[in-house]
Amino acid sequence: MPLPLLLTQHMVRRPQRIALLQHIAEQGSITRAAKSAGLSYKAAWDAIDELNNMAQRPLVERSVGGRGGGGAQLSAEGERVLRLYQRLQALQAQVLEATEESADLGLLSRLMLRTSARNQLHGQVESITRQSHNDLIRLHLAGDLFIDAQITHDSTLRLELEIGTDVVALIKASWLDVFAVDQPVAPGHNSLSGVIENVLDADDGPSEVRITLPNGQTLCSLVGPSHLLALQLKKGSPVQVQFAPSYVLLGTPL
């Protein structure tokens, strides 16, 4: 299966994150791989979450047991991506040796912007429904999960969206609401079920809650400690995540 275009472009734009796969393959541990790559443990996991969310299948798998209470290894898909990354490195070196247009390379770098949105999910346009000045865009994520995004019709035209278009859905962590699995879904809202992977407490603010979806993609939500306590949510708890379609921003390859 060909790699999603967005993941391939990510490999070119952010090679340091893809290179983390090489360290994981060599070290067999997120902790050791992060140290080898010069990253914090959290930064390494953020990178892995982003890579897994951009791929059709998870690139990194966690293993139970072993030194330090567990390890990590590349999935078959991760090994395939790493091989492609190594080939792209060789091609990139050839291009850089041949080109004299350094100013043009700088322009390309500026055009390929990063985003502050904590959640970035790769998907494809499943359907487009016109709603007055807005369009409801249904996205097909990996593992047959679906979410809706509400954008203006002008944005649909500007992004040249049509059925099958590869897109990335951007959702800020503060826009995600976490509830128990039996909580009714707010009318018109998206709802995704998952399991809390980790809760990172903060001294003076909301906790960062990482939620693993059935397809292996990960969402991050900012949740107040009182809310977690009231619902007795902790690591391993099944939960549902709700968010309005208007909170889903869409991006497409340049």
**Banded pLDDT at 236 (limits 50, 70, 90):** very high
Decide if pLDDT at 91 tops 50.
yes
> Which residues, including other chains, have CB under 8 Å from residue 112's CB and lie 6 or more apart?
9, 13, 254
Q: Are strands 177-180 and 238-243 parallel, antiparallel or unpaired?
A: antiparallel
Give the model's pLDDT for residue 171. 93
**Amino acid, single-letter form, for residue 27:** Q
Query: Domain 5-111 belongs to what topology?
Result: Arc Repressor Mutant, subunit A (1.10.10)
Return residue ranges of the chain for CATH 2.40.50.100. 115-254
Confidence label for 109 from pLDDT (cuts 50, 70 and 90): very low
pLDDT in tens, 1-37: 455 555 555 555 556 777 888 899 998 888 899 888 8
Q: State the pLDDT at residue 69.
A: 42
AA identity, residue 166: D
Minimum mean pLDDT range among 57-61, 86-90, 146-150, 196-200: 86-90
The mean pLDDT of 86-92, rounded to a whole number, is 67
249 membership: H or E segment, kind and range? strand 249-251
pLDDT computed for residue 127 by the predictor: 97
pLDDT of residue 108: 47
Q: What pLDDT, on the 0 to 100 scale, is given for residue 20?
A: 87
Report the DSSP pairing between strands 207-212 and 238-243. Answer: unpaired
Q: Compute the residue count for the chain.
A: 254
Predicted pLDDT at 146:
97
pLDDT at 201 over 60: yes
pLDDT exceeds 80 at position 64: no
CA distance 48 to 46: 5
At 57 the pLDDT is 80
Least confident of 21-30, 59-68, 203-212, 228-237: 59-68
Angle between helices 5-13 and 15-27 (to 10 degrees): 90
- Encode pLDDT of 32-54 as tens digits: 998 888 888 888 888 888 888 87
**CATH 1.10.10.10 domain extents, the chain:** 5-111
The matching CATH number, chosen from 3.40.50.12780, 3.40.50.300, 2.40.50.100, 3.20.20.300, for 115-254 is 2.40.50.100
- On the question of pLDDT at 111 being above 50, the answer is no
